[in-house]
Structure 1
Amino acid sequence: MWRKWIKFKKWQWGLIIVISIAITYFSIPPGKPYFEVDYSTVVKSDDGSLLHVFLNKNEQWFLPPDTSSIPKKLEDAVLLYEDQNFHLHSGVDIGAVFRATYQNIRSGRIISGASTLPMQVVRLRHQNDRNIFYKVLEAIEAIKISFHFSKEKVLKMYLQHAPYGGNVIGFQTAAHKFFGKPIHSLTWSEAATLAVLPNSPGLIYPSKTNNRLFQKRNALLKKLFDKEYINELSYQLSILEPVPDEFITFKSSAPHAAFFLRSQYPAQKILNTTIDKNLQDKANYIAQKYEELYAADGIRNLACLIADSKTGEVKAYVGSPDFYDNANKGQVDGVRAYRSSGSILKPFLYALSMDEGLILPETFIRDLPTYFDGFSPNNASEDFQGVVTAKEALVKSLNIPAVRLLNSYGLFQFYSFLQEAGIKSLFRSADEYGLPLILGGAEVSVWDMVMLYRGFANEGKFSNNIILKDPESKSQKGAQLISAGSSYLTLDMLKDLKRPGSEYFWQKFNNAKDFSWKTGTSYGHKDAWAVGLNPEYTIAVWVGNFDGESNKNLSGANSAGPVLFDLLEALPSTSKEWFEFNEMDFREMKICSVSGFRASENCPKADAVYAPYGMRSMKSCDYHQKKYLSYNKDLQTCSACWDDLGAIPTKLLEYPPDIAYYLRRKGAFIESIPPHNPECSRYKAEISSKIIYPNMDAKLFLPVDFNGELQKVICKVGHTSSVNKVYWYLNEEYIGETDRQHKMAVTFKSGWNELKIVDDLGGEDLQKVFAVIKE
């Protein structure tokens, strides 16, 4: 058998080799992807609308291929114009080749071509010169791709990579740049225009006097009518439509989100986001409206973010009102920028403190002058209430109760919570932030705040926001950092904030929905915040200046609050009610109706409230105490003097001295506590008086007056019992006495001082004070 093969002539061997090579060539699939080109990066909304389109590296508008089908109108127009036998040939139309050859020889010049769509696809891929040699190569490769790709695939490759004039590549790009619409909304006239343009892309250059494109389009429409693709009415209406005479600019609805996503996913050309195009446009409008409104007050920037409360899907992302406003740093992404948090972290401290058993919404917290190693917080009102409930302290955003609560809960524990919840902007240690962390000492972003407040909506589970579509991300469980009960109670407290401006009467409308929100203003009036949520949406707003300029007109309630509620009004209406109250998340607890702590047997009245299930044990009320009084109830007695004076058990309300002092200043009536029988052999003076200013281990910085005298410090004493006189001592030297109103101007020496008071009931208190003399 092999001897017969040897007898083959050379030309036969050559033919065998050529056939083998051809079979091998045509059997090997083309490389994937077939086109190695640089596409534009496209950012899309949740419904597929364009949010932003970037130029590619060649400064071209070149939308990447997608899975959408080719509109029938465009397919019919293109095939009728470019390749009528497209579905009959296998890459090369032999009949067209003979016809073109005959016509060209007869005329003595090239007047007709025989390129098929597969051949044009090959030419678009290689960008070769247009001569006979390359025509042959294109024909060979066209047969190959026709063998490996479906007709629909070949047609789509042609349309996706065809030039349409200027720097516009691809039929999807052309539909947007020339007609401002997606491909499936094209009319017959527009489809015909896109069909003729790749053949003469120079015709599209904006020119109102150029009729060549108009004529070519109408010729194709006439052909479509003659071939009965369209009826006479459609034809007559189509030829009346104008052809495009200018390029339409791609509108950018979410440029800051687009630039952020491109930086995070540089290799991804199509970025499908969760952003709602309609809501994004509304948010842009509101941001621009307030930018113009606040400009007169020197407030130039704002940012806002809206997300689905449950899933975390971002629905609107406004980094600044105008991305192209270079004068006001419009390209800064305010959603991602780190800014001082102001008071907006307070709700999380209150929620954590409830789980820790420190408070319930009804629990009293001290609102008194407070000092912590040189740090002295103050309320915005520069006033003190004495005591306030936790709910009132949170709703009014009082600073002193928040700092005292953070000191009790633990600075490091709260700092760790922020880190576990996903805050990555904390670049200093907990000790470096200190207690001012709760008043705005931390750096957070609008993105972070939406993420954090969503934790309340998810029953204390904290997870990151989502901006790219990902079916698996919707099921993210999140870290359980706050109990469901504490989350519900915190949201319930935040519902009681009053709305700014006209929104003050928001609750009075019959169709008003519950909404929990919190405002914050940073130190120096540099940042204004408003964050709110309901079961469906969480919104965060920041208002200020990107350059950090201070502005007295900035405040959370008056600057960020109105933006927040305009955004709330822009949200789709819904019938969904408030967060569901689940009794499994709570247990019933009896608390003192006065102090708000767990009721003891001495509390005359107790209220039944819901406490988070699993909260740590709460301390008992120490405001109410059992005392034994004489028969006349004017003295306290003990077992040593019961026989002479009597022992009537009596439950008394006894405020701590510092609280009693400020409640009296507010006009509250504080009933005096009878003193112990002074003649009792076992009598020992009780703490009936207390130095309330300065605090223990306070550090004072004392300036010298113009006359060279050292400024004095007004020291204060609070008392509970019927104290009339208080005697004052400084460093064991008597310096005077006070009667009823116990304030004393004291001159401290440089360094450590020891301030002591003794009242006329025998009670005494001692404080150490460190003074620094500033010349």
Structure 2
Amino acid sequence: MNFPKELPIKKIFKALIPAFISGLIVLFLILFFTPDFKVDYSFTLYSSDGKLLGASAASDGQWRFPQSSKLPEKYREALLTYEDKNFYFHFGIDPLSVFRAAVENVLKGKIISGASTITMQTSRLSDRLSDRLSDRLSDRLSEKKPVRNFKQKLRESFLSLFLELSYSKEDILNLYSSHAPYGGNVVGLEAASWRYFGRGPEDLTWAEAACLAVLPNQPSLVRPGKESEILKEKRDRLLYNLFLQKKIDKETYSLSVAEPVPDKPKALPQKAYHYLEFLKTKSTDQKNISSLDYSLQEIIFEIADHHFKRNLSSGVYNTAVLVLDTETGKTLAYIGNTGLNNADAKNEHVDMIYARRSSGSLLKPFLFAAMLDAGMILPDQLLIDIPTKIAGYTPQNSNYTYSGAVPARKALSYSLNIPFIRALREFTIPAFLDILKRSGFTTFNRSADEYGLPLILGGGEISLYEITNTYRKMMLRAQNKLDEKFPFSSGACRITMDVLTEGNRPEEEAIWQLYAQNQKIAWKTGTSYGNKDAWTIGITPKYSVGVWCGNASGEGRPEITSTKLAAPILFEIFNILPKSDWPEKELKDFEFIKTCADSGYPAGEFCKNTKAVLKPIHAHTQSTCPYCKKVSLSPDGKFQVKANDINELPKIENRFVLPAAAEYFYKQGHPEYKSLPQWLPESTASNAGEFEILFPEDGTSVYIPTELDGSFGALVAEAAHKNPEAVIYWDLDGEYLGSTKSYHQMKIQPLKSGRRGTLKGRHELTLTDNRGNTRKRIFYVLNENL
């Protein structure tokens, strides 16, 4: 049997070389001559449902939107009917159109028809082709009549073949529609649809789609007057052809030709200017489908703009609002500032969502939660609220009053400063800074010593986004829905959120009752020192809302307070948001603890009234009630006694007793409080702790004001005594001033010996009660000597 001889390797190799070289040539031609559409597009922002929120022009000043993945059906039918009926049946060159154009040109003796296909027109629009056909393309883009000759048409035909080899038919349609000129600096279907009709291509009517199909053929027609009439004539002719081809019915045709054509571009939407500018620094995509809710963004913008206009007369120029989805953290509304189109606005382009501003009181809930977890407080545990001076720092409550002692939950809901200053001193500033950083704050970059105790009152800076997002995470942790690390337990977060829903607020914050309708909202206000920042944060299981009002310049105004400016906006927003139910407590996050009903501390052996409360399950309480004591009284209960003071058995009682200074203020708001009786006059017991000097604080510096008549005023010193019948004798620098009983205040005027006038420098105030107990204070006067 004869087998065919094996072909020599060399012959096979030689036979393949021409095919290989031909393939390389074709590949080179495709790569080199295929039109390239690498152009700069406009940066665009869309809502979650695909509606345009805003855009910025491309680097060359053109409004050229990124191409869409799919063309709307109305525009597709109009375009193919007008430009290229046989688009799907040719390979870049339409032989029938070429034959028709040749006959028409011969008969007329000049070129009147070019037989251009959509593929040819697309190739003329490409960037790479502009390098080779620069004159022609520049003419096209500048709306001048392009040069038309056989050589040019042959080149276009050649390049169209490569375009068809490189792209699908759908891609070619999309490329054409995205790069076709529509007059002025409007390029592409998407930009033209928004500029001329104020809506996206998918929402165009047949008349509008037909108008945009014919416009690239002569983009200068979008002008008032005669050109507009020509545009309408071209559009109506196309609509008639669509009717003849049964693409539209008679009624649609009649209604469509009655629609006007555009005579000038419309302004593009700018519903989220600051968010668009923010995304430009973060996103590399030119087309950005955001999580913003279009309707919500519009409504909240109107609310913010209304308050902005109302605040102008008060010299307050800037407002920012942020709405997050509590569960996902997605941004639903982003108003970075107000007044973009208002002549009276100032610094309106500054994005205040990420601007660093003083926090006011907004950090208090985090200290509250941290101390719950540390077992340092319970929700109803009394915190001392008296005049306080710590290392030269003298904080004040915003209402300039004192409670003496106040439950921790009330200190938070009333946003009292002094209890939280004292609490931070106990918790320590470094520990609290660590908590804040682990919560997600990135703005605390100074040392604990640099911040000091004012950190809790606004001594540090935050951004609206970070504070809103951290409150959001606290709500999620309260429901055991937070997957990321967070330095608070679910129990502590839940207690904190519950406290922030309480309607028992200061009178100036009673505004919540006007707005919060049958909905629980955890909310916190904050006003920075100098009235420069007004904050309000509100959280529900569904929405997290942050509001800031003030001046971006940092200028303070008396009207910049959270209750006047920010809180009304917050509750107005929650009124238009869907309501959400407050979640049930998960008892696995808590355990019951027996507490003193009077002090809120874990119950001690002398606590007469007790109750069970919930605390975070892993929080280990550190002390029992320090205020309930066993006391010995005379049989009639009128005096405190020692065992050896009387010849009969004393009366033993368990009593709730506060320190003298705290008791003095506490009694004013709690008439039911019973002070201990005074000691038996002949008792040998010490009276330490019986009375205290409230003001001036030891070592404080004071400036004594001048009265209207030019004379120097007086310093009002104050003391508190547990015995309402006690008499206190006042002495300043060795000079007796007088005595007081029951109500212990004394006007003092430090005098220079032998001269009338204040004496600058050190002074010593000495108080002695009728039992011989003595208290002293050193203070300094800042006034110059007279």
Tell me which residue corresponds to 1:234. 252
Pair 1:282-2:299 in alignment: yes
Distance in structure 1 (CA, Å) of the matches to 2:670 and 2:510: 31
Are the counterparts in 2 of residues 687 and 763 from structure 1 also a CA contact under 8 Å? Answer: no
Match of 1:718 in 2: 720
**Structure 1 match to 2:216:** 198
Does residue 292 of structure 1 match 2:293? no
Within-5 A mapping of 1:33-432: 34-67=36-69, 69-125=70-126, 126-127=129-130, 128=133, 129=136, 130=147, 131-207=149-225, 210-265=228-283, 267-325=284-342, 327-329=344-346, 330-426=348-444, 428-432=446-450
Q: Measure, in 1, the Cα distance between the counterparts of 2:628 and 2:704.
A: 40
The code of the aligned residue for 1:414 comes to: F
- Between the aligned partners of 2:497 and 2:482, the Cα distance in structure 1 is 22
SS at match of 1:328: coil
Decide whether aligned partners of structure 1 residues 705 and 569 sit closer, same or farther in structure 2, where only a CA change above 3 A counts: closer
Structure 1 residues 415-454: aligned runs within 5 Å: 415-426=433-444, 428-454=446-472
Identity over aligned residues, as a percent?
33
How many residue pairs end up in the alignment? Answer: 747
> Bigger CA drift: 596-605 or 222-231?
222-231
Match of 1:519 in 2: 525
- What is the Cα deviation at residue 439 of structure 1? 2.3
Asked if 2 retains the 8 angstrom alpha-carbon contact of 1:325 and 1:331, the reply is no
Match of 1:617 among 621, 633, 643: 621
Tell me which of 557, 560, 563 is aligned to 1:554: 560
Instruction: Report the 3-state secondary structure (helix = DSSP H, G, I; strand = E; otherwise coil) of the residue aligned with 1:577.
Output: coil
Summarize deviations over 1:74-105 as a string: whole Å, max 9, x none: 22222222222222222222343343334323
Which of 604, 610, 614 is matched with 2:608 structurally?
604
Partners of 1:364 and 1:388 within 8 A in 2: yes
Equivalent residue number for residue 589 of structure 1: 593
Aligned-partner Cα distance in 2 for 1:665–1:240: 79
Structure 1 residues 116-144: Cα deviation after superposition (integer angstroms, max 9, x where no partner) = 22222111112323444443333222212
User: How many Å separate the matches in 1 of 2:746 and 2:251?
Assistant: 100
SS in 2 for 1:589: strand
Please tell me whether residue 504 in structure 1 is matched to residue 513 in structure 2.
Answer: yes
State the match for 1:472 in structure 2: none
Is the 1:592–1:607 Cα contact (8 Å) retained in structure 2? Answer: yes
Name the CA shift for 1:678/1:323 in 2 (closer, same or farther; >3 Å).
same
1:729 & 1:225 partners in 2: Cα distance?
A: 106
Q: 1:212 to 1:389 in 2, by over 3 A?
A: same
Select between 324-333 and 608-617 the one with higher mean Cα deviation. Answer: 324-333
Tell which deviates more after alignment, 101-110 or 630-639: 630-639
Q: Work out the CA distance in 2 between the residues paired with 1:208 and 1:565.
A: 54
1:653 to 656, 663, 667: 656
Cα shift at 1:740:
4.5
Distance 1:117 1:706 in 2: 89
**For the residues of structure 2 that align with 1:107 and 1:336, how far apart are their CA atoms?**
68
- 1:527 Cα deviation after fit: 2.5
2:571 is matched with 565
Q: CA deviation at 1:744?
A: 4.9
1:657-699 CA-to-partner distances (Å, cap 9, x unmatched) read: 111222355583543345379566xx55543223333334444
What letter is aligned with 2:87?
A: F
Alpha-carbon contact 1:73-1:188 (below 8 Å) kept: yes
> Is the 1:461–1:482 Cα contact (8 Å) retained in structure 2?
no
Change (3 A) 1:484 1:766: farther
Q: CA deviation at 1:348?
A: 2.2
Residue 515 of structure 2 contacts residue 572 of structure 2 at CA under 8 Å; is this kept in 1?
A: no
Write the deviation string for residues 367-399 of structure 1: whole angstroms up to 9, x where unpaired.
211112222222232222222222222222222
Q: Which shows bigger deviation, 715-724 or 84-93?
A: 715-724
Q: Which moved more, 1:177-186 or 1:755-764?
A: 755-764
Residue 526 of structure 1 deviates from its aligned partner by: 2.8
Say whether the 8 Å CA contact 1:461–1:481 is kept in structure 2. Answer: no
Counterpart code for 2:74: K
TM-score by length of 2: 0.86
Greater mean alpha carbon deviation, residues 243-252 or residues 440-449 = 440-449
Q: Shift of the alpha carbon at 1:301?
A: 2.6
> What amino acid does structure 1 have at the position aligned with 2:585?
F
Q: In the alignment, is the contact (CA less than 8 A) between 1:324 and 1:331 conserved in 2?
A: no
Aligned residues of 2:760 and 2:784 also touching (Cα < 8 A): no
Superposition deviation, residue 588 in structure 1: 0.7
In the aligned structure 1, how far is the partner of 2:510 from the partner of 2:677?
46
Structure 1 pair 567/633, CA: closer, same or farther in 2 (3 Å)? closer
User: Displacement of 1:15 after TM fit?
Assistant: 10
Whole-Å separation in 2 of the counterparts to 1:121 and 1:223: 24
Seen in structure 2, the aligned counterparts of structure 1 residues 769 and 139 have a Cα distance that, compared at 3 Å, is same
Q: Which runs of 5+ in 1 are unaligned?
A: 9-13, 463-474
What corresponds to 2:490 in structure 1?
Answer: 484
Would the alpha carbon gap of residues 733 and 187 (structure 1) be closer, same or farther in structure 2, given more than 3 Å must change?
Answer: closer
Asked if the contact 1:460–1:480 (Cα under 8 Å) also holds between the matched residues in 2, the reply is no
Distance 2:561 2:160 in 1: 68
Structure 1 residue 304: Cα displacement: 1.2
The structural deviation recorded for 1:734 is 8.0
Partner AA of 1:584 in structure 2: K
The structure-2 alpha-carbon separation of the partners of 1:671 and 1:238, relative to structure 1 and needing over 3 Å to count, comes to closer
What runs of 5+ residues in structure 2 fail to find an aligned partner? 1-6, 137-146, 751-758
**Do the aligned residues in 2 keep the contact of 1:655 with 1:720 (CA within 8 Å)?**
no
CA change 1:277–1:774 in 2 (3 A) is farther
User: Is the 1:45–1:274 Cα contact (8 Å) retained in structure 2?
Assistant: yes
Query: What pairs up with 1:436-475 in 2 under 5 angstroms?
Result: 436-459=454-477
Is 2:583 the counterpart of 1:579? yes
Distance 2:570 2:357 in 1: 18
How big is the shift at 1:736?
6.7
Q: Report which stretch shifted further, 491-500 or 745-754.
A: 745-754
Q: Deviations over 1:704-742 (max 9, x none)?
A: 999999876444332335772445677899877654544
